[in-house]
Amino acid sequence: MAITDDVLVIGGGIAACTAALSAAETGARVRLLAHKKSTLRQASGLVDVLGYAGGDGPFADPFAGLDSLPDGHPYSVVGEDGIREGLRIFDEAVGDAYEGSHTDSNALVATHGGTVKPTARYPESVAPGLASASGDMLLVGFEGLTDFDAPVAADHLTAGGVPFDVRGTTISFPKSFRSDAKVTRFAKALDRDEDVAGGTVRSVLADTVAAELDGADRVGFPAMLGDDHDEAVRDELADRLGVQVFEVPTGPPSLLGLKLEDMLFEALDEAGVRISSGNPAVDFEANDGRIETVLVDQKSRLTPYEADQIVLATGGLVGKGLDSNREHVTEPVFGCHVPHPADRYEWSDSDAFGDHAFARFGVVVDDQLRPTTEDSESQFENLRAAGGVVGGADVAREKSASGVSLATGAVAGRLAGEEASQ
């Protein structure tokens, strides 16, 4: 028998979670169908809305840059109200774990590469390290953890003109691990404050860093200062050092991204969203312009899922929500139209950092976020799209990835929930 809901959201990332939360607010019965682990674990954990557009930026106010975006951008569909709706849902889901909701202004966050990123929401553990905050900074890296080269990051920040002194140092972590140890192993050692020669992990780490302070007012570590007890780890290090302690967002696997994923799924549970995970949507059945059934591959057996309304939030090329070969780009679940040049050489620019067409590939949506055909007609009247699967935005250049996911997810989920309730 088919599994039936009012709204079925396909995907597991920030757009899918936001769409499910938004739909649940309407009173609809909502199910999230997630196949693989989301790309949040590959992300920095920062929530950007808009940093650059049309050659301008970084924007102090992300909303001030909306008029500089090209036609067909997802923000042109959802508008400023849609962006604010997505941010509201996010703020309510994460609570005090994130900062930035007190202002429309972007914050400037120092990243692991030594760049400064304009972002709208950032973890509370990152806040003391903002480039706009005062106080000289010491960045601390660990031998064997190649994701964060503290001296190089410090040099880049200095070259970028930050208004404070910043230095970087590399030290040995108080406990030795295998060379292939994951960042979570370091975090767990700090969580448990494991015994090491000369004391415990936290005390020895603090003593080692104290010898490097040289007048710094704040100390930044790669984002691995604990997992289950991260706040206690930061508080103890700050108390022992007598300065502010913060985390620097790092690359994958990202503890900040993993923590954000956990918070979003906890919010889904609290909202009563049903979650089915581990199996992909592979096909569908439609009749008279409506999707009636989504078929899910469960150990080579097709299981039908039925819903009045469906939101597609499977991601873009990186998230595998779009497939590509040497000739074509396709949306694999519903066969939605993805416009792209016939000549593959036109998909990218010769400059590695140039304006690449493939970065904007995705489905084209109407004003109700329904994917459209090549003739600009809605493909299915009960299907909407959100997040990276929606084309028209170069989110990496714009620093808009999370904002696009939040805004389109919020609007698509709300419209789906309202439609299902009629």
- Of the candidates 248, 268, 284, which is a domain's last residue? 248
User: Are 244 and 274 members of one domain?
Assistant: no
User: Are 30 and 145 members of one domain?
Assistant: no
Q: How confident is the model at residue 44 (pLDDT cuts 50, 70, 90)?
A: confident
- Of the candidates 226, 248, 270, which is a domain's last residue? 248
User: Are 25 and 88 members of one domain?
Assistant: yes
Specify whether the CB–CB gap between 394 and 54 falls below 8 A.
no
Task: State the average pLDDT over residues 21-37.
Answer: 93
User: Are 154 and 235 members of one domain?
Assistant: yes
CATH number of the domain enclosing 221: 3.40.50
Specify whether the CB–CB gap between 27 and 421 falls below 8 A.
yes
User: Are 315 and 341 members of one domain?
Assistant: yes
- Of the candidates 199, 230, 248, which is a domain's last residue? 248
pLDDT of residue 354: 75
Give the containing element (helix H, strand E) for 415.
helix 401-421
For every residue of 209-229, DSSP letters joined together read HHTT-TT-SEEEEES-S-STT
Kindly report, residue by residue over 412-421, the tens digit of the pLDDT: 999 999 999 8
Specify whether the CB–CB gap between 366 and 336 falls below 8 A.
no
Gyration radius (Cα) of the chain, Å: 23
Specify whether the CB–CB gap between 103 and 37 falls below 8 A.
no
Query: Up-side HSE of residue 189: CA atoms within 13 Å toward CB?
Result: 20
CA distance 58 to 78: 22
Kindly report, residue by residue over 198-255, the tens digit of the pLDDT: 999 999 999 999 999 999 999 999 999 999 999 999 999 999 999 999 999 987 778 9
Q: Rounded to a whole number, what is the distance in angstroms from the first to the last CA of the chain? A: 25
User: Are 310 and 344 members of one domain?
Assistant: yes
pLDDT of residue 131: 92
pLDDT of residue 341: 85
- Whether 314 is in a domain gets the answer yes
Task: State the average pLDDT over residues 281-287.
Answer: 95
Residue-range definition of the domain harbouring residue 218: 127-248
- Whether 53 is in a domain gets the answer yes
pLDDT of residue 1: 65
Q: How confident is the model at residue 123 (pLDDT cuts 50, 70, 90)?
A: very high
Output the CA–CA distances (angstroms, integers) from residue 76 to 79, 273, 387, in the order listed.
Answer: 5, 29, 14
Give the containing element (helix H, strand E) for 255.
helix 255-270
CA distance 291 to 284: 7
User: Are 134 and 51 members of one domain?
Assistant: no
Give bridge partners of residue 290 from the DSSP assignment.
287
User: Are 410 and 277 members of one domain?
Assistant: yes
CATH number of the domain enclosing 300: 3.50.50.60
User: Are 206 and 93 members of one domain?
Assistant: no
Kindly report, residue by residue over 323-355, the tens digit of the pLDDT: 998 888 999 999 999 998 888 877 887 776 677
CA distance 416 to 333: 18
Beta-carbon contacts of 172 under 8 Å, excluding residues fewer than 6 positions away, are 142, 143, 208
Residue 384 has pLDDT above 90, yes or no: yes
pLDDT of residue 333: 96
Q: How confident is the model at residue 100 (pLDDT cuts 50, 70, 90)?
A: very high
- Tally of domains in the chain: 2
Report the percent of the chain where pLDDT is more than 70: 99
Hey, what amino acid is at 1? M
Alpha helices in 95-213 (DSSP H): 150-159, 183-192, 201-210
pLDDT of residue 359: 84
